[in-house]
Amino acid sequence: MGRTLGRIFRMLAWIAPIYQFRASVWRKCGVKIGKRVYIANLVFFDGEFPHLITLEDDVSVGPMVSILAHSGGSPYHHQTNIFKQPSQAVLIKQGAWIGTGAIILPGVTIGIGSIIAAGSVVNRDIPDFKIAAGNPARVVSELPRPKKVPPKG
Protein backbone atom coordinates (compact mmCIF):
# COMPACT_ATOMS: atom_id res chain seq x y z
CA MET A 1 0.00 0.00 0.00
CA GLY A 2 1.34 3.42 -0.90
CA ARG A 3 2.36 5.90 1.77
CA THR A 4 -0.47 8.37 1.01
CA LEU A 5 -3.14 5.69 0.72
CA GLY A 6 -1.91 4.15 3.97
CA ARG A 7 -2.27 7.50 5.75
CA ILE A 8 -5.81 7.92 4.42
CA PHE A 9 -6.73 4.41 5.61
CA ARG A 10 -5.22 5.07 9.06
CA MET A 11 -7.19 8.30 9.42
CA LEU A 12 -10.36 6.49 8.36
CA ALA A 13 -9.76 3.69 10.86
CA TRP A 14 -9.01 6.23 13.60
CA ILE A 15 -12.49 7.77 13.44
CA ALA A 16 -14.70 5.07 11.90
CA PRO A 17 -17.95 4.72 13.90
CA ILE A 18 -18.24 0.91 13.71
CA TYR A 19 -15.58 -1.21 15.41
CA GLN A 20 -15.83 -4.10 12.93
CA PHE A 21 -15.13 -1.65 10.12
CA ARG A 22 -12.15 -0.22 12.06
CA ALA A 23 -10.68 -3.71 12.41
CA SER A 24 -11.07 -4.41 8.69
CA VAL A 25 -9.39 -1.11 7.76
CA TRP A 26 -6.49 -1.79 10.16
CA ARG A 27 -6.11 -5.21 8.51
CA LYS A 28 -5.81 -3.47 5.13
CA CYS A 29 -3.08 -1.28 6.67
CA GLY A 30 -1.10 -4.41 7.60
CA VAL A 31 -1.97 -5.02 11.26
CA LYS A 32 -2.60 -8.74 11.88
CA ILE A 33 -5.98 -8.92 13.63
CA GLY A 34 -7.79 -12.06 14.77
CA LYS A 35 -11.50 -12.72 15.17
CA ARG A 36 -13.88 -10.87 17.50
CA VAL A 37 -11.33 -8.11 18.16
CA TYR A 38 -12.65 -4.81 19.51
CA ILE A 39 -10.65 -1.70 18.62
CA ALA A 40 -12.01 1.56 20.04
CA ASN A 41 -11.81 4.99 18.41
CA LEU A 42 -8.58 7.00 18.34
CA VAL A 43 -6.29 3.96 18.60
CA PHE A 44 -2.84 4.51 17.07
CA PHE A 45 -1.00 1.60 15.49
CA ASP A 46 2.58 2.13 14.31
CA GLY A 47 2.30 3.66 10.84
CA GLU A 48 5.74 2.60 9.61
CA PHE A 49 5.65 -1.05 10.66
CA PRO A 50 1.99 -2.10 11.10
CA HIS A 51 2.83 -5.59 9.81
CA LEU A 52 4.84 -6.19 13.03
CA ILE A 53 1.71 -5.82 15.21
CA THR A 54 -0.47 -8.86 15.94
CA LEU A 55 -3.73 -8.92 17.88
CA GLU A 56 -4.99 -12.46 18.43
CA ASP A 57 -8.66 -13.46 18.79
CA ASP A 58 -10.93 -11.78 21.37
CA VAL A 59 -8.55 -8.89 22.15
CA SER A 60 -10.07 -5.61 23.31
CA VAL A 61 -8.22 -2.32 22.77
CA GLY A 62 -9.58 0.77 24.55
CA PRO A 63 -9.68 4.32 23.18
CA MET A 64 -6.50 6.37 22.70
CA VAL A 65 -4.18 3.35 23.00
CA SER A 66 -0.83 3.55 21.15
CA ILE A 67 0.89 0.39 19.94
CA LEU A 68 4.38 1.00 18.59
CA ALA A 69 6.70 -1.36 16.72
CA HIS A 70 9.60 1.08 16.46
CA SER A 71 11.15 4.05 18.18
CA GLY A 72 12.55 6.22 15.46
CA GLY A 73 14.48 8.92 17.25
CA SER A 74 15.17 12.19 15.47
CA PRO A 75 17.06 12.50 12.17
CA TYR A 76 19.97 13.88 14.23
CA HIS A 77 20.18 10.67 16.25
CA HIS A 78 20.17 8.55 13.09
CA GLN A 79 22.77 10.64 11.29
CA THR A 80 25.15 10.64 14.26
CA ASN A 81 24.48 6.99 15.21
CA ILE A 82 23.76 8.07 18.79
CA PHE A 83 20.54 6.08 19.02
CA LYS A 84 19.59 3.03 17.02
CA GLN A 85 16.80 0.68 17.91
CA PRO A 86 15.53 -1.78 15.33
CA SER A 87 11.82 -2.27 14.84
CA GLN A 88 10.41 -5.12 16.93
CA ALA A 89 7.20 -7.15 16.76
CA VAL A 90 4.37 -6.59 19.22
CA LEU A 91 2.08 -9.51 20.10
CA ILE A 92 -1.15 -9.16 22.04
CA LYS A 93 -2.38 -12.65 22.80
CA GLN A 94 -5.88 -14.07 22.92
CA GLY A 95 -8.36 -12.36 25.23
CA ALA A 96 -6.08 -9.56 26.41
CA TRP A 97 -7.66 -6.21 27.32
CA ILE A 98 -5.73 -2.99 26.83
CA GLY A 99 -7.19 -0.09 28.87
CA THR A 100 -7.75 3.48 27.71
CA GLY A 101 -4.63 5.50 26.91
CA ALA A 102 -2.15 2.67 27.43
CA ILE A 103 1.09 2.72 25.44
CA ILE A 104 2.57 -0.56 24.24
CA LEU A 105 6.25 -0.20 23.25
CA PRO A 106 8.22 -2.21 20.65
CA GLY A 107 9.06 -5.84 21.34
CA VAL A 108 6.36 -6.42 23.95
CA THR A 109 4.15 -9.51 24.29
CA ILE A 110 0.94 -9.25 26.32
CA GLY A 111 -0.08 -12.68 27.64
CA ILE A 112 -3.33 -14.58 27.20
CA GLY A 113 -6.21 -13.00 29.12
CA SER A 114 -4.05 -10.28 30.65
CA ILE A 115 -5.31 -6.79 31.46
CA ILE A 116 -3.31 -3.61 30.97
CA ALA A 117 -4.64 -0.79 33.16
CA ALA A 118 -5.61 2.56 31.68
CA GLY A 119 -2.67 4.91 31.11
CA SER A 120 -0.01 2.25 31.60
CA VAL A 121 3.25 2.26 29.64
CA VAL A 122 4.23 -1.32 28.83
CA ASN A 123 7.94 -1.73 28.08
CA ARG A 124 8.35 -5.44 28.89
CA ASP A 125 6.43 -8.67 28.43
CA ILE A 126 3.39 -9.33 30.60
CA PRO A 127 2.72 -13.02 31.40
CA ASP A 128 -0.63 -14.77 30.87
CA PHE A 129 -3.56 -13.91 33.16
CA LYS A 130 -1.94 -10.95 34.92
CA ILE A 131 -3.05 -7.37 35.56
CA ALA A 132 -0.35 -4.79 34.86
CA ALA A 133 -0.47 -1.10 35.73
CA GLY A 134 1.79 1.94 35.98
CA ASN A 135 4.64 3.64 34.20
CA PRO A 136 6.51 1.47 33.57
CA ALA A 137 3.81 -1.20 33.81
CA ARG A 138 4.36 -3.85 36.44
CA VAL A 139 2.28 -6.87 37.34
CA VAL A 140 0.02 -5.83 40.22
CA SER A 141 -2.37 -8.75 40.40
CA GLU A 142 -3.09 -12.19 39.05
CA LEU A 143 -6.30 -13.32 37.39
CA PRO A 144 -7.77 -16.77 38.01
CA ARG A 145 -7.03 -19.12 35.15
CA PRO A 146 -10.21 -20.32 33.48
CA LYS A 147 -10.89 -24.03 33.58
CA LYS A 148 -11.51 -23.91 29.85
CA VAL A 149 -9.80 -21.43 27.51
CA PRO A 150 -11.86 -20.72 24.38
CA PRO A 151 -10.29 -22.30 21.29
CA LYS A 152 -8.48 -20.10 18.79
CA GLY A 153 -10.28 -19.39 15.54
User: Are the C-beta atoms of 120 and 133 separated by less than 8 Å?
Assistant: yes
Report d(CA 90, CA 99) in Å as an integer. 16
The answer to whether position 149 is within a domain reads no
Q: From the DSSP assignment, how many helices (H) and strands (E) are in the chain?
A: 3, 14
Report the CATH number at residue 50: 2.160.10.10
Q: Tens of pLDDT along 71-121? A: 776 777 767 777 777 889 999 999 999 999 999 999 999 999 999 999 999
The answer to whether position 105 is within a domain reads yes
The answer to whether position 11 is within a domain reads yes
The answer to whether position 134 is within a domain reads yes
**Number of domains forming the structure of the chain:** 1
The answer to whether position 132 is within a domain reads yes
Asked whether the predicted pLDDT for residue 43 surpasses 90, the reply is yes
Asked whether the predicted pLDDT for residue 149 surpasses 70, the reply is no
Domain of residue 40 covers 3-142
The answer to whether position 20 is within a domain reads yes
pTM given for the model: 0.87
The answer to whether position 153 is within a domain reads no
User: Are the C-beta atoms of 139 and 123 separated by less than 8 Å?
Assistant: no
The answer to whether position 88 is within a domain reads yes
Q: Tens of pLDDT along 68-83? A: 998 776 777 767 777 7
Q: Could you give the maximum distance between any two Cα atoms of the chain, in Å?
A: 54
